[in-house]
Structure 1
Amino acid sequence: MTTTTGPTAAVRRATDAPPLITEADLPPARHFIDGKFVDGSTQQAIDVVDPSTENVIARIPEATVEDIDSAVAAAVSAKEQWALRVPKDRSEVLHAVADRLAEHTDLLVRLESANTGKPLAVSRDDVAMTIDTFRFMAGAVRATTSLAAGDYAEDHLSVILREPLGVVGVITPWNYPLLMAAWKIAPILAAGNTLVIKPSEQTPLTTLKFAELVADLLPPGVVNVVNGYGAVAGARLAEHPDVDMIALTGSVNSGRAVARAAADTLKRVHLELGGKAPVVVFEDADLAATASSLRTGSFWNSGQECGAACRVLVHESVAERFVEQLVGEVRSLVVGEPTSGEDVEVGPMVSKAHFERVTGYLERAKAEGVRVATGGGALDGPGYFVAPTVLVDVPEGAEVAREEIFGPVVTVETFADEEEAVRRANDVPLGLSASVWTENARRSHDIAARLDFGTVWVNSHLVLAGEVPWGGFKGSGYGRDLSIYALDDYSRTKHVMHNHGR
């Protein structure tokens, strides 16, 4: 097997391409509260950086507790009237939102790639699923089901009501700024709630642009956007006594902090946290097809994906052949700035801090004797680029095999039999997603049932649909995004019992 000790990719640069965005494309650099853009309560601002070039492209206000309190007050004021709307009315608003986003697809794609460094293909997929999420929830809210009304105690008619929770606080991550906002906003609004969302301070632009685009479609106060850091703005949202639920997509540490802050008010908590997805490849798998699928499953969004296929467990009898196939795929990945071509597949890490985190994992792994099959380090700047990497000879329990690296890095381990494969796949603190690769149908059903992960794919990885739930077990949190299960999460049930005895 051929291996290399350093990065093999080169960053494709845009030499004469026009910039992705102009000043006119940017949203107002302010908070969005009670239906309008407003200044922050202080002059403190946060730089928004293009990770492909390291240039500052905007400056947004840094929220204080007072800013969060203002946004929550607006959401509280709007919640009664929004909750009283019948499902058909809320559905029509969500369809209008989807239509408005569809009209501005190109702008949203360019803005997302400028802020995150995503390849244009990834941003297009994000915007398309954002629109689909609003369309799905617009339909789903008109067809919710629950226990049929009936007499379950003699002479007493039971009716189950589904009610909004009230005000939901939302904290979204930097890896999918617009899409993760949609995964929260659409079901929250469909269920009849109002909300305050705090996007990541690193990638707020498409969330602010969303607010700008749909401001005339929503009553004031129904959706509020406040910029800022988690330690201040996020913490205040989580602890605020007038916030009925806090929903976060983010890191495990962020989830712990939010759950602790929410505890005093006993508000509901919805956490979609990290993942460390095992990819269990059996000896009868189609190795070429598996390696080809991991080109996307492992490196989509530059591996900055909580469901990424980042930890391969392959049967020892086919390990060498599989690694050769995988390395061939990874070496042919196109790394570059989003403006450098439609075929770019891998972009930069989102920030300098995250770039240093990912390269730190690689340096420690090499120092511990893990072998680099391809990639293995940073690529020349500017920009926060890391070479697509495959690490082999990874011992059981190694840091890179247990902790979420969240970059373009795949580790490869081997196993001897099914029992070992299942044990080692489950032996991580996170439980978001996994995949099984085999041509044996009985085995695929059995192994999938034994894997302790919220989503298990068979002979594919990272395929999502609005109709099916997304969420994890163990340290990956609780609650479900997408599907009718998300509507359940953002609703409460009330039992009303009528004595009709005569």
Structure 2
Amino acid sequence: MENADTIVAGEVLRADTESFDVAQLPPGQHFIAGEFTTGSGEEAAVVVDPSRGEVICEVVRGTAEDVDAAVAAARDASAAWRKLTPQARAEALLAVADRMQEHAELLMALESLNTGKPRDVAEDDVSSAIDCFRFAAGAQRAGTALAAGEYVEDHLSVIHREPLGVIGAVTPWNYPLLMGVWKIAPILAAGNTLVLKASETTPLSTLKLAELTSDILPAGVFNVVNGRGTVIGTRLAEHPDVAMIALTGSVGSGRAVARVAAESVKRVHLELGGKAPAVVFADADLAGAAKALRTGGFWNAGQECGAACRVLVDESVAEEFTRILVDEISEIVVGEAGTAAELGPMISRDHFERVLDHLARAKEDGVRVALGGGALAGRGFFVAPTILVDVPVGAACTQEEIFGPVVTIETFASEDEAVDRANEVPFGLAASLFTENTRRSNDVAARLDAGTVWVNDHLVISNEMPWGGFKGSGYGRDLSAYALDDYSRTKHVMHSTAR
């Protein structure tokens, strides 16, 4: 699995028994027009439990023809779904939320099995996904637009918000259920129908959601096609009957989808990577900042695009803060799904090895490991919670998205330097700052080039507030009423009233 010199001291909390009844697994098939189907492909993807490194099941791989079938089903369902009143669509989405609530324990257990998430993380994912449906159901009943009126003499202007039609969505492996719902809920609430491609690594909770809601949502409104992004995502992006492609994933995936979508001038919604800086000023509550970064940097094992993976701390308090942070992170319990752990495994063997490679490169660059720094022994894909210090300006570990339980610590000498360094990366998804100075917090937050900025905390997310980035982190907004705007179009109808 790894070289001996990458093993670090520490134990993984192991589960005593199997944590999931395999009889509850969803069919490993596509979900098209309200039914599960094997489709036209002859290949299957192996789904692995990352806590144990063992095979869970296989899921069929789709083809472009399967995408075409799903898009046709979504197109056929579009006319009736878009004509429903906001109240009727809201009732359907609230029914989905209620169904998820009824099966919350099952969804949590399945998500833990497929992703290795500790129970608290899986529970937060499921509860947040349920609330996302409930928020979208209400928000689409209270849409806002420019008031109708005579803006030109003898002409009445009326603004309509219309569904786009069929939308294609591609969702990531790190939050398969939650990021899926961040797309599904507002897309359906806005009156669109949907064809979704889940990650091949973590498709199970998305397929289970389709199974659980098959009697609530009309056939064809919500479809799932499994398979490779290069096949399924590409076909969705180029399909003439798909009005928009929405993707949460890597920068490379976003560029590829945008290039293909440009051929048909298709609308694109991209939520891509991040390298979130956390700026700790000398007047900050250092212990409070360390506690915030315990969650902000290591939630979901750092496999989080908004993770506080890059800490910039005032040089006058850097030594003290590093000691506090190392003490705080040393308390994190690493464990398998089904245990009371705080931090789970990397999602796959490939990603596990990718994170270890980043750590090896950092050591070669002269970076010092203050905590962790390698793999944990035994089964599964576990990397120890890691803090890297003595990091030179511009080091690769501060510029590239590691996407694991790894936090780097750099120092700065002035406020201007802190802001410049925080903004130097090509990403702009999220950032945070820690200070007791209110004027500083307002000014620095305005100068940080990120779509979300937290003050004295990190990675607190609300369904009422938008989520999305700047620069290489993409464009478009998930969550909030802004998502409903993204998934609809504005039409101006002007009536001549002259008599």
Does the CA contact (< 8 Å) of 1:141 and 1:190 recur in 2?
yes
The answer as to whether partners of 2:430 and 2:450 remain within 8 angstroms in 1 is: yes
Alignment map for 1:258-297 (pairs within 5 Å):
258-297=257-296
TM-superposed CA distance for 1:381, in Å, is: 2.5
The aligned counterpart of 1:463 is 460
Partner amino acid, structure 1, of 2:480: S
Q: Which residue of structure 2 lines up, in the alignment, with residue 401 of structure 1?
A: 398
Separation (CA, whole Å) in 1 of partners of 2:126 and 2:168:
23
Tell me the amino acid that sits aligned with residue 495 of structure 2: H
Aligned partners of 2:192, 2:392: CA distance in 1, in Å?
A: 48
Output the amino acid matched with 2:369. V
Give me the whole-angstrom Cα distance separating, in 2, the residues matched to 1:134 and 1:5. 43
Look up the match of 2:388: 391
Superposed displacement of residue 8, structure 1: 3.8
Deviation of 1:376 (Å):
0.4
The counterpart of 1:358, out of the listed 355, 358, 368, is 355
Give a deviation string over 1:322-362, Cα, whole Å, max 9, x none: 000010111110001022x32x0110000011001100000
Write the mapping of 1:178-257 to structure 2, written as runs, cut at 5 A.
178-257=177-256
Checking the alignment, whether the CA contact within 8 Å between 1:5 and 1:373 is kept in structure 2 is no
TM-aligned CA deviation for residue 292 of structure 1? 1.1
1:118 to 2:117 alignment: yes
Indicate if the aligned counterparts of 1:49 and 1:115 stay in contact, CA closer than 8 A. yes
Q: Which amino acid aligns with 2:385?
A: P
| Paired position in structure 2 for 1:422 | 419
CA separation in 2, counterparts of 1:152 and 1:412?
Answer: 56
1:96 maps to 95
SS at match of 2:45: strand
Counterpart CA distance in 2 for 1:46 and 1:40 is 14
Shift of 1:475: 0.1
Cα 1:303–1:492 shift into 2, 3 Å:
same
Contact residue 9 and residue 388 of structure 1 kept, 8 A: no
Whether contact under 8 Å (2:277, 2:309) holds in the other structure is yes
Q: 1:432 aligns with which of 403, 411, 429?
A: 429
In structure 2, what is the Cα distance between the partners aligned to 1:226 and 1:424? 42
Q: Residue in 2 aligned with 1:80?
A: 79
Q: AA paired with 2:8?
A: P
* 1:263 aligned partner, one-letter code: A
1:380 Cα deviation (Å)?
Answer: 1.0
Residue of structure 2 equivalent to 1:495? 492
Q: Would the aligned equivalents of 2:6 and 2:375 in 1 still touch at CA under 8 Å?
A: no
- How far off is 1:23 after superposition? 2.0
Equivalent residue of 1:11, what SS? Answer: coil
Map 1:285-364; keep pairs closer than 5 Å.
285-339=284-338, 341-342=339-340, 344-364=341-361
Change (3 A) 1:40 1:423: same
Unaligned runs of 5+ in 2: none
How far, CA to CA, are the matches of 1:357 and 1:388 in structure 2? 15
Distance 1:33 1:238 in 2: 18
- Alpha-carbon distance between aligned partners in 2 of 1:42 and 1:454, rounded to the nearest angstrom: 40
Matched, 1:7 2:5: no
- Structure 2 residue matching 1:495: 3-state secondary structure: strand
Letter in 1 for 2:204: L
Structure 2 counterpart of 1:39? 38
Check whether the contact 1:313–1:414 (CA below 8 A) recurs between aligned residues. yes
Root mean square deviation, CA, Å:
1.0
Query: Which position in structure 2 is the counterpart of 1:157?
Result: 156
1:9 alignment partner AA: G
CA contact (8 A) 1:5 1:372 kept: no
- Between the aligned partners of 1:439 and 1:203, the Cα distance in structure 2 is 41
What letter is aligned with 1:491? S
- Give the Cα separation in 2 of the matches to 1:171 and 1:135: 22
For residue 40 of structure 1, report the CA deviation from its aligned partner.
2.2
Any unmatched runs of 5+ in structure 1? none
| Residues 251-297 of structure 1: per-residue CA shift (max 9 Å, x gap) | 00000000011111111000000010000000000001100111111
- 2:423 & 2:257 partners in 1: Cα distance? 26
Contact 1:301/1:346 (CA < 8 Å) preserved in 2? yes
Deviation at 1:6, TM superposition (A): 6.8
Distance 1:202 1:275 in 2: 21
| SS of 1:144 mapped into structure 2 | coil
Deviation for aligned residue 1:30? 0.7
Once residues 224 and 470 of structure 1 are traced to their aligned partners in structure 2, the CA distance between those partners, rounded to angstroms, is 24
1:197-251 CA distance string (max 9 Å, x none)? 0000000000000000000001100000010010111111111111000000000
* 2:6–2:374 contact (8 Å) kept in structure 1: no
Q: TM-score, normalised by structure 2?
A: 0.98
Structure 1 position 5, deviation (Å): 9.8
Cα contact 1:78–1:219 (8 A) shared by 2: yes
Match of 1:367 in 2: 364
SS at match of 1:338: coil
Whole-Å separation in 2 of the counterparts to 1:252 and 1:335: 29
C-alpha distance in 1 between matches for 2:164 and 2:423: 35
| Local SS of the residue matching 1:254 | helix
Q: Which residue type is aligned with residue 433 of structure 2?
A: V
Distance 1:118 1:364 in 2: 27
TM-score by length of 1: 0.98
Q: Distance in 1 between matches of 2:223 and 2:127?
A: 23
Distance 1:80 1:53, change over 3 A: same
Distance 2:228 2:6 in 1: 38
Q: Secondary structure at the match of 1:56?
A: strand
Matched residues in 1 for 2:256 and 2:475: separation? 15
Cα-to-partner distance string for 1:63-88 (whole Å, 9 max, x where unaligned): 11111111011001111110111100
Q: What is residue 410 of structure 2 aligned with on the other side?
A: 413
Contact 2:389–2:410 (CA under 8 A) maintained in structure 1 = yes
Q: Is the 8 A contact 2:243 2:267 kept in 1?
A: yes
Letter in 1 for 2:215: D
Distance in structure 2 (CA, Å) of the matches to 1:496 and 1:430? 39
CA contact (8 A) 1:6 1:372 kept: no
Tell me the SS of whatever aligns to 2:169: strand
How many pairs align? 495
Taking the aligned partners of 1:321 and 1:265, their CA distance within structure 2 comes to: 55
Quote the offset at 1:443 in angstroms. 0.2
The SS at the match of 1:12 is: coil
